[in-house]
Amino acid sequence: MASVFAFLRKKVCCNEVYHPPPPPPPPPPPPPNAAKNSKKDEFYTQRTDVEKELRHYEHHFKGKVVYCNCDDPRISAFFHYFSHKFQQLRLKKLIAACYKNKSPDLFSRHDSQQAIYLEYKGDTNDNKVPDVEEIGVKNFKGDGDFRSPESIELLKQSDIVVTNPPFSLFREYVLQLIEYEKKFLIIGNLNAVAYKEIWPLIKTNRMWMGWNSGSRKYAVPDDYPKKTTIGEDGRRYTQLGNTCWYTNFDHAKRHEEIILYRKYNLHDYPQYDNYNAIEVGKTKDIPMDYKDVMGVPITFLEKYNPDQFEIIGSDYDVKEGLLPELVNPKWEGKLDRAYLNGKRIYARLLIKKRSHNP
């Protein structure tokens, strides 16, 4: 397989994060912070993290076309995972695509002359590994951005999308998947649940958390502007503590009941100043005997069981006037967030125990 990736490093020239194409030549100079901001958006997932998550969904891939549309196949853990496990997963086809890098000052080792995509339809010589001659390398006419017509045509051919999209484009990326009704397993920032485009999808159970979340290391470019460490492989890594998997595949963990052991009392569970709901600072502290609305941190979604709890809304919904019944009529201040003893609380979800739960 080493020969395949050596081939790809020579023949495949692309990057994993989209950079908008410049006007026709001569191009104007880039904005002062363009390079810095782009570098902050470039994270490569480790193979171990891909395997740790995807092992819970292997039965979903049989006979499916998988599309990794934000992946440099030379270094993508997603392409490596699916190409090596193609027969085991019984895939129909694997497609990997990435955009053309038009910024010569960004990640020079990834500079490209033309955007490409790869198609792999499985082992044809029975050696159980993907070989150079088995991987079709095709050129895009455009820049290969996931929003381009060419990339969308590949999306239409696919059944499942698996990748780590650029965090700065997460809203657009997810909405495209929903528009084309695709199954997906993608990585994003945990705080993305609060985006006005994403929250309605979470609230209505059209997407949810995968198995794994929390702190993990990502490979980054050599000139990444924040603190990094050097791994045993010589690559630079940065630690991110607030990333998670998002999916619309159901899975067993999503139906594990949260064990509740605490009982409600006025002292530990005060009511908000402006909401008709009580404050629960940690998911593990949800009272077992409280039947009304509770405010919980967004990390609740990591353990959320839709059979056990109902999501009523969020502080954003209150602000937008969607939950007028939860507003304290005596409150004369802001409704941008929940307030407790005059203090503005961090983002909260508003939940209730389902009636069939004791």
pLDDT at 114: 72
CB 247 within 8 A of CB 184: yes
Residue 5 makes CB contacts below 8 A (sequence gap 6+) with 74, 80
**Ramachandran category for residue 210: left, alpha or beta (phi over 0 → left; psi -120 to 50 → alpha):** beta
Distances (CA, A) of 296 to 15, 345, 353: 39, 11, 12
12 compared with 246, residue with greater pLDDT: 246
- What's the confidence (pLDDT) of residue 280? 98
Q: At residue 72, does pLDDT exceed 90? A: no
Six token digits for residue 13: 């020239």
Over range 76-89, report the average pLDDT.
90
Q: Is the pLDDT of residue 7 over 80?
A: no
Cβ atoms of residues 117 and 96 within 8 Å: yes
Question: Rounded to the nearest 5°, which phi and psi values hold at 118?
Answer: -115, 145
- What integer is the mean pLDDT of 131-149? 84
* Model confidence pLDDT, tens digit, residues 267-294: 999 999 999 999 999 999 999 999 999 9
- What are 114's two structure tokens? 């033309």
Place of tokens 């609305």: 293
Give the separation between CA 132 and CA 71, rounded to whole angstroms: 18
Strand segments, DSSP code E, in 112-159 are: 116-120, 135-139
The pLDDT-based confidence of 239 (bands split at 50, 70, 90) is low
pLDDT exceeds cutoff 60 at 173: yes
The pLDDT of residue 56 is above 80: yes
* Integer angstrom CA distances of residue 36 from 13, 107, 282: 21, 11, 36
- Cα distances (angstroms) measured from residue 80 to each of 1, 165, 230: 9, 17, 22
